Amino acid sequence: MKKTSLFLLIMLSNCINPQDTGNKGQVVKTMASTITKKFSGAPQLTIEAYIKDKSHYILVDVRSKDERAVSQIPGALSKEDFEKNRENFRGKKILSYCTIGQRSSEYTQGLIKAGFDAFNLSESILGWTHRQLPLIDSLGKPTKKVHVYSKAWNLVDDKYQGVWEKR
């Protein structure tokens, strides 16, 4: 059932032209809500709650290297770097994110099963853009670009630029 739901979500999103949705921020919220229901074992933390208390979290970007090369949330560790040193983070609050929350919710559930105090960043990097928060590129320089899967997934705020590989 979970795979069927994800498949339908992806298929439906590929039929959407983001510029036709009217309110991309609302689409992001709706998609994040669907993911939250699907991954009930992954506690969600809002972007606002993270910003208020970010010194208490280890932020982990679970996206691919290619996605992270375009941009990431400042201060985030890659999933690979976190995994190399994961025992050093026991007893700390782990907050993971991806594009919209699907992969990071799944990763969060795995961390919880392994005994970590883990959360998913609700709305992930797409939600981050709708709050017009800073992103950095792989060199640590400010950027407004965000890697998204395709034109259909280009749900970034209008002040940002969604980029994807053309197939």
Segment among 105-119, 122-136, 153-167 with least mean pLDDT: 153-167
What's the pLDDT score for residue 17? 55
Domains of the chain: 2-163 (3.40.250.10)
Sign of CA dihedral 106, 157, 18, 137: negative
Mean pLDDT of 15-21: 55
Local confidence band at 165 (pLDDT 50, 70, 90 cut-offs): confident
Confidence of residue 4 (pLDDT cuts 50, 70, 90): very low
pLDDT category of residue 167 using cuts at 50, 70 and 90: very low
Q: What is the DSSP string of 41-101?
A: TS-EE-HHHHHHTGGGEEEEE-S-HHHHHH-B-TTPEEHHHHHHTGGGGTTSEEEEE-SSS
| Average pLDDT, integer, range 131-153 | 95
How far is it, in rounded angstroms, from Cα 144 to Cα 76? 17
Task: Evaluate if residue 50 carries a pLDDT over 70.
Answer: yes
Mean pLDDT of the chain, nearest integer: 90
* Alpha carbons within 13 A on the beta-carbon side of 18: 19
